[in-house]
Amino acid sequence: MRGWRVGVPGEAHPALAAAAVAALDAYTAATAEHDRATLAAVVADGADGTPTMRIDVLVEDAILGALARHPVNVLTEETGWVDHGSALTLVIDPVDGSANAAAGVPLAAFSAAVAEDGVFTEALTVWLDTGRSWWARAGEPSPLRTSGRTALSGAAVSLLRPHTADPGAGAAWWEVARRAARVRILSTSCLEGALVAQGATDAFADAATDTHRLVDIAASVVLAEAAGGAVRDVFGRAVELDTDLTRRWSGVVAATPELADELATVLREACQAGRDG
Amino acid sequence: MRGWRVGVPGEAHPALAAAAVAALDAYTAATAEHDRATLAAVVADGADGTPTMRIDVLVEDAILGALARHPVNVLTEETGWVDHGSALTLVIDPVDGSANAAAGVPLAAFSAAVAEDGVFTEALTVWLDTGRSWWARAGEPSPLRTSGRTALSGAAVSLLRPHTADPGAGAAWWEVARRAARVRILSTSCLEGALVAQGATDAFADAATDTHRLVDIAASVVLAEAAGGAVRDVFGRAVELDTDLTRRWSGVVAATPELADELATVLREACQAGRDG
């Protein structure tokens, strides 16, 4: 339907494909076998210091098991950096949208990018509830095409949920909601990034809350750029490979560079105005 | 997975089942054959005076064709009231989440309730992008079970998008976002209502914008009540069968009567405070 693939594409790097297949299998088994409370239970602190749910651990463990045969480095949500001395690094979010996944809201994704000598070259996002996938390799023709929209006025924008207790971030969120034609909160950054690459929505943004880790936006960089879009950080920081998972961004994924720049500017200025009261 | 059905249940009323099957087939064909602009084109004014997209007409026409052999009354989004002198009325939203459907955001639903002599007795919501369905008949045991949550604090709440230009509705939206643990905007009322019945989210609400028509919430009344939940209107109006599609509600679908009442009260009071400045 509409050019969406189901399953893992044959052109994907073997390590990327192996990780995705392991994630799909583990996710399907975990959600069939465990109830919501079990899946949502906090069982560890992740590599970035934030709490980890059991669903995250179950899927990540399956991925790392599948990758044992592949000589690549891995940077992943819970375990962090696993260095195998390779020129290739997989940047993986085993379960993007963990809260959705644990609760039974069917919007969760496996998402990973391949970095070659520090440059993102390939990405795959798989909607774990349906098997639909989005794949691209930098510099190669892709069937993905963004909407091409260049202005926030009239745009359909996905946002992370508002941080109502932060006057700056709260004002930034509201300003985008005020200017956009449509606002959605799907609570799954990687799937929302894929929908921008697919042309189904015009943009996705973290409204200046510095919530995004690299694993939340790395795949969207490759997918969006292959489809004619662009990724920015609200505060102008480069979205680049870094093994320090405590780094944060306020990512903006948009249909065009113009829209990405406008969204980043609107969010940054509204955030500053909100902080200044 | 998790007790979700795929397809139309065998226990459903034959007219309800026929309508759902026709909707699934027509939606699949329409989204495969037409591009976004064609699906989103406004081709008519609906029975309630709001614009109708081509995707709505294509699916509704297929439903009405399938129902020609069934001697029931029909109340539907675009055509309005079709009286066949029956004690049974189907209240149908052919494509809930039309904007999602036209754009390619895979969150759209067929949703319908059966009213017998004016009382809602059965409902079926089908996620058109996947075929998953939620069905219940009033007074019969159901596998659907809400989360049981009784308080807004800590709750995961789905909301319609905020109406930022309306000080009352804007304040009401923000107040729920401030009190809830999670906020989502999936832009499909019927699917969000089904997720409450399923226990995946705690509540869904129209934040005092009077956007809901009967077709947007009728099925949620049956599904939520069968699962232990409740439906309210923010301003206390009864959600009841009425063939006048210009009537509007600010619907609240919640895991328990307590949570429904709290949400309606919070929304009403915040809306009033916002209006008063």
Q: A–B: how many Cβ contacts below 8 A?
A: 86
| Rounded CA separation B267/B160 (Å) | 13
Nearest by CB: A186 against B104, B178, B184: B184
Report CB contact under 8 Å: A195, B105. Answer: yes
Is A177 part of the contact surface with chain B (CB cutoff 8 Å)?
A: yes
Q: How far apart are CA A9 and CA A127, in angstroms?
A: 13
Assigned token pair, B122? 């059965």
- Cβ distance A174 to B164 less than 8 Å, yes or no, reads yes
- Which among A211, A242, A209, A245 has a CA at the least distance from the CA of A48? A245
Burial (0-12, 13-18, 19+ Cβ within 10 Å), A206: buried
Tell me how close the Cα of A10 comes to any Cα of chain B, in angstroms: 23
Residue B242, H or E segment: none
Q: Do A1 and B130 touch (CB under 8 A)?
A: no
> What residues of B are in contact with residue A183 (Cβ under 8 Å)?
161-162, 185
Cβ of residue B185 closer than 8 Å to a chain A Cβ:
yes
Q: Which of B144, B185, B195 to mutate to test the interface with A (most CBs of A within 10 A)?
A: B185
Q: Are residues A105 and B195, on separate chains, in Cβ contact within 8 Å? A: yes
Contacts of A39 in chain B (CB under 8 A): none
* Alpha carbons B188 and A180: distance in angstroms, whole number: 18
What pLDDT is attached to residue A104?
96
Distance, in Å, from the CA atom of A63 to the CA atom of A214, rounded to the nearest integer, reads 18
Please, what sign has the CA dihedral across residues B213, B219, B222, B228?
Answer: negative
Cβ contact (<8 Å) for A184 and B187?
yes
CB nearest A178 (choices: B104, B164, B184): B164
Strand order in B5-6's β-sheet?
B5-6, B132-137, B119-127, B109-116, B88-96, B73-76, B80-82
Determine the distance in angstroms separating the CA of A240 from the nearest CA of chain B, rounded to an integer.
Answer: 29
User: Rounded to an integer, what distance in angstroms lies between the CA atom of residue A270 and that of residue A167?
Assistant: 10
Q: Distance from B2 to chain A by nearest Cα, in Å? A: 6
According to the annotation, is A117 in a ligand binding site?
no
What's the length of chain B?
Answer: 277
Model pLDDT, residue A4: 67
Residue A31 is nearest to which of B1, B177, B198, comparing CB atoms? B1
Residue of B182, B189, B195 to mutate for A, most A C-beta atoms under 10 A: B182
Beta partners for residue B126, in sequence order? B110, B133
Q: What is the pLDDT of residue B109?
A: 98
From the list B105, B162, B182, the residue facing A200 with the nearest CB is B105
Tell me A170's DSSP state: H
Interface membership of A130 toward B (CB under 8 Å): yes
Regions of chain A where pLDDT drops below 50: 1
Domains of chain B (ranges; CATH) run 5-137 (3.30.540.10), 156-276 (3.40.190.80)
Q: Hey, is A150 helix, strand or coil?
A: coil
pLDDT in tens, B144-182: 999 999 999 999 999 999 999 999 999 999 999 999 999
| Contact state of B182 with A99 under an 8 Å Cβ cutoff | yes
Could you tell me if B165 lies within 8 Å of chain A, comparing CB atoms?
yes
Question: pLDDT tens for residues B187-228?
Answer: 999 999 999 999 999 999 999 999 999 999 999 999 999 999
Chain B residue nearest residue A131, CA to CA: B130
Token pair 């049981």: residue: B148
Q: How far is CA B33 from the centre of its chain?
A: 26
Taking each helix axis from N to C end, the angle separating B214-226 and B189-198, rounded to the nearest 10 degrees, works out to 10
- Give me A252's structure tokens: 């903006």
pLDDT at B78: 85
Which residues of chain B does A199 touch, with a Cβ-Cβ cutoff of 8 Å? 36, 104
Q: What is the mean pLDDT of each run of 10 residues along chain B (277 residues)?
A: 73 96 96 95 82 94 96 92 95 97 97 95 97 96 96 98 97 98 98 98 98 96 98 97 93 98 98 95
Work out the minimum CA distance from B80 to partner chain A, whole angstroms. 27
Confirm whether residue B93 is marked as ligand binding: yes
A31 and B130: CB-CB below 8 Å? no
State whether B183 and A185 contact (CB < 8 Å): yes
Contact (Cβ atoms closer than 8 angstroms) between residue A143 and residue A199: no
Element (DSSP H or E) covering residue A114? strand A109-116
